[in-house]
Amino acid sequence: MSFQLLDPEKGIFLSEAGSTNTILKGKEFPPGSWILADFQSSGRGRKGKTWSILGEEPFIFSGKFSSDSNLSSPGLFSLYIGVAVAKAILSVYPSASKKDLRIKWPNDIYLNGKKVCGILIETEKEGEVWDWILGIGANLYGTEIPDYLSDAGFVTRDQNEKGRRTRFLETLLPLLNDAVLAISDGDKRIEFINEKLLWKGETIAWTESGEQKTATLLGVNEEGKLLARTSVGNMVEFIDSPEDFRSLG
């Protein structure tokens, strides 16, 4: 399969948007287009959740890829995009390399236990062409976190690292294209994901048919599925994360 990648020359800069993903779904925006907004009033996360952007330098981005067929393992798309974002953070913000950076399966980035980036992947199909709309919301720099968002954090609080949003964008764009090419070419990125996987080796819990289940988180397989083992040795395979998926430590 082949992908049409993001074009650095097809960027749109907006001072304000409702949802950059929603805007980019419009047919007037061909594959390769991307949007960077200063403010987003209707940010969306997975499963209908809202996503609040915080701080003085938010990164509100959407990009449109297209492919000539669907992926055999579509879950890899979100994970590989997460790898690209993680690598961009580590490249642009030296202070991040001193923190505990983790990828929360399937699509969040954490630093020192705080969520600093959320990723939303949406697909649309017309004929034999698949559009892949990826949304990335990151809190690049800031100092104040509202009490009701105690799980959130910033990539950096270091004033010496302020003003790097443009550098982050310029670093991220080729990494996103590289991630999608890796999917197309079968290049494996699972080792990096498992090295940075949040909660790996910990006891996770979720609710299934009204009953709490627990297992030890093992890692991600080559198809992007999450693997865990119950206390009696049964393997559990997740294609998507349950609503109350969490770590018990």
Q: What's the domain range around 224? A: 199-247
**pLDDT for residue 44:** 54
Question: Does 162 share its domain with 39?
Answer: yes
CA distance 52 to 24: 19
pLDDT band at 43 (very low <50, low <70, confident <90, very high): low
pTM of this prediction? 0.92
Question: Does 86 share its domain with 156?
Answer: yes
pLDDT digits (tens, 9 = 90+) for 165-215: 999 999 999 999 999 999 888 788 899 999 999 999 999 999 999 999 999
Question: Does 94 share its domain with 32?
Answer: yes
Look at the chain and report how many structural domains it folds into: 2
Question: Does 207 share its domain with 231?
Answer: yes
- Cα-trace Rg, the chain: 18
pLDDT digits (tens, 9 = 90+) for 126-141: 888 999 999 999 999 9
> What tokens does 110 get?
């954490």
**Secondary structure in 3-state letters for 53-113:** CCCCEEEEEEEEEEECCCCCCCHHHHHHHHHHHHHHHHHHCHHHHHCCEEEECCCEEEECC
Question: Residue 184 is inside which H or E element, if any?
Answer: helix 165-185
Question: Does 174 share its domain with 89?
Answer: yes
Question: Does 139 share its domain with 238?
Answer: no
Q: Which of the residue ranges 34-43, 55-64, 115-124 would you say has the lowest mean pLDDT? A: 34-43
pLDDT band at 95 (very low <50, low <70, confident <90, very high): very high
Sequence-distant (6+) residues with CB within 8 A of 151 are 114, 115
